[in-house]
């Protein structure tokens, strides 16, 4: 390598990164459980292609800062709320941005023995069933609520007693409107689940569909509504948005999300609606090349996903009166080791387990 061109390229890259607006983005609340490891991955909270060029400091609770993350295993003495501050600096130590979040640490035995009913709603990340399996595994440990998962969808990958309403390729709006008239002997079973929302039923004419959550709860949940409903959606809705101007599309999608959440709140006003913030992409461009060739590059989706998280926070933060709570599923998802080499948006077993841990920690905080 010729030294002079290398130094010029490095100087130019440093100048570019110094001028970037990192848009450091943290959710208002984040949840953990005593004894359970948790991390925030720095690549997930800033908008840059080169997070390794920055220094990150996390203040407010004991933890370990590593090259790609801040990590901690809370102790029993950490139970309670902690005001965490993240500070981003350039390579010279100059502060660029800072932001805060409240980290809530729950007791190991929070909700022990209490009955608890959970409904999980989502897209292909949910259909894979790995993070619902992880939620079930964690809830089955000693000191947890007596849980029951609701849902009509039980793929082959589902562990015992695991169920959900998660379908590959689905969007927020699909759960409100997706309907195909059933043809006896043709659209029953799994095929029907791909073409019709579990919350839609045939109208009197047999041709159109009617959204009917109370009927769903009567017929599939023993007429006992869930205590918590989790939602993890948004990738399919926004993946093809314009990375340079994504707001119009994202807000259209969040309008649909608002409608679905409002329908759940009306049908089950006491239920907690736990909305997962859209998960980050694989850090490798190779994962996107394998899936989409050059049509959808990693940096394009990274910009869209980062903006989705920001607009979800604007739309749904401080909406507890509507039953809506945000879950920081975008923080604890390792964009390197949590994804395979050949997939842009679908995690591997490690990443799915991290998503499950985030939902589990939120669930514990409600007991």
> Six-digit token pair at 20?
């970037």
Q: Would you state the pLDDT for residue 205?
A: 81
Q: Would you state the pLDDT for residue 367?
A: 86
> Among positive and negative, which fits the CA dihedral 157, 345, 363, 230?
negative
- The answer to whether 204 and 259 have CB atoms below 8 angstroms apart is no
Count Cα neighbours of 133 within 13 Å in the Cβ-side half-sphere.
Answer: 17
Q: Would you state the pLDDT for residue 1?
A: 38
Residue 347 resides in a domain = yes
At CA 14, angle to CA 11 and CA 15, rounded to 5?
A: 85
At CA 229, angle to CA 262 and CA 26, rounded to 5?
A: 85
Question: Where do the DSSP E strands lie in the chain?
Answer: 29-33, 38-41, 55-59, 64-65, 69-72, 80-89, 95-106, 115-122, 146-150, 165-166, 200-202, 209-211, 228-232, 272-276, 324-327
> Six-digit token pair at 179?
């309907």
**How far, rounded to the nearest angstrom, does the alpha carbon of residue 191 sit from its chain's CA centroid?**
26
Q: Would you state the pLDDT for residue 192?
A: 52
Q: How many domains, in total, are found in the chain?
A: 1
Query: Which ranges of 75-189 would DSSP assign to H, the alpha helix?
Result: 124-127, 130-139, 174-177
Residue 97 resides in a domain = no
Residue 37 resides in a domain = no
Nearest to 78 by CA among 114, 31, 113, 42: 31
The whole domain housing 331 covers 111-365
- The answer to whether 304 and 238 have CB atoms below 8 angstroms apart is yes
Question: Where do the DSSP E strands lie in 182-271?
Answer: 200-202, 209-211, 228-232
Residue 85 resides in a domain = no
Residue 8 resides in a domain = no
Q: Would you state the pLDDT for residue 6?
A: 35
Residue 174 resides in a domain = yes
Residue 83 resides in a domain = no
Residue 351 resides in a domain = yes
Nearest to 360 by CA among 93, 35, 90: 35
> Six-digit token pair at 93?
């130590």
What span, in angstroms and rounded, lies between the C-alpha atoms of 102 and 362?
A: 13
> Six-digit token pair at 99?
């932001």
* Burial status of residue 29 (CB atoms within 10 A of its CB: 0-12, 13-18, 19 or more): middle
CATH of the domain at 219: 3.40.50.1110
- Residue ranges in the chain modelled with pLDDT below 70: 1-20, 183-193
């Amino acid at each position: 390598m010729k030294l002079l061109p290398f130094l010029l390229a490095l100087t130019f890259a440093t100048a570019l990164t110094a001028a970037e607006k990192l848009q450091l983005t943290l959710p208002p609340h984040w949840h953990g459980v005593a004894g359970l490891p948790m991390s925030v991955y720095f690549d997930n909270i800033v908008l840059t292609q080169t997070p390794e060029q920055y220094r990150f400091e996390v203040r407010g609770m004991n933890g370990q800062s590593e090259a790609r993350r801040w990590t901690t295993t809370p102790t029993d003495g950490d139970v309670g709320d902690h005001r965490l501050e993240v500070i981003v600096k350039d390579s010279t130590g100059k502060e660029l941005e800072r932001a805060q979040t409240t980290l809530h640490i729950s007791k190991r035995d929070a909700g022990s023995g209490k009955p608890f009913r959970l409904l999980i709603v989502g897209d292909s990340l949910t259909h894979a069933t790995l993070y619902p399996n992880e939620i079930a595994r964690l809830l089955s440990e000693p000191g947890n609520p007596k849980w029951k998962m609701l849902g009509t969808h039980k793929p082959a990958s589902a562990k015992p007693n695991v169920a959900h309403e998660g379908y590959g390729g689905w969007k927020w709006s699909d759960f409100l409107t997706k309907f195909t008239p059933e043809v006896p002997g043709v659209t029953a079973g799994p095929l029907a689940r791909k073409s019709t929302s579990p919350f839609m039923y045939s109208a009197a004419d047999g041709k159109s569909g009617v959204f009917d959550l109370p009927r769903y709860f009567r017929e599939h949940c023993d007429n006992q509504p869930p205590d918590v409903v989790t939602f993890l959606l948004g990738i399919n809705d926004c993946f093809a948005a314009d990375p340079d101007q994504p707001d119009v599309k994202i807000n259209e999608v969040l309008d649909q999300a608002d409608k679905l959440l409002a329908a759940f709140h009306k049908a089950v006003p006491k239920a907690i609606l736990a909305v997962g913030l859209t998960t980050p992409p694989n850090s490798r461009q190779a994962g996107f090349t394998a899936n989409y060739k050059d049509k959808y590059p990693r940096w394009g989706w990274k910009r869209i996903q980062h903006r989705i998280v920001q607009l979800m926070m604007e739309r749904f933060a401080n909406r507890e009166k509507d039953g809506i709570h945000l879950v920081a599923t975008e923080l604890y998802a390792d964009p390197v080791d949590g994804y395979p080499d050949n997939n842009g948006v679908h995690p591997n077993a490690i990443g799915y387990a991290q998503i499950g841990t985030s939902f589990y920690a939120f669930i514990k905080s409600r007991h």
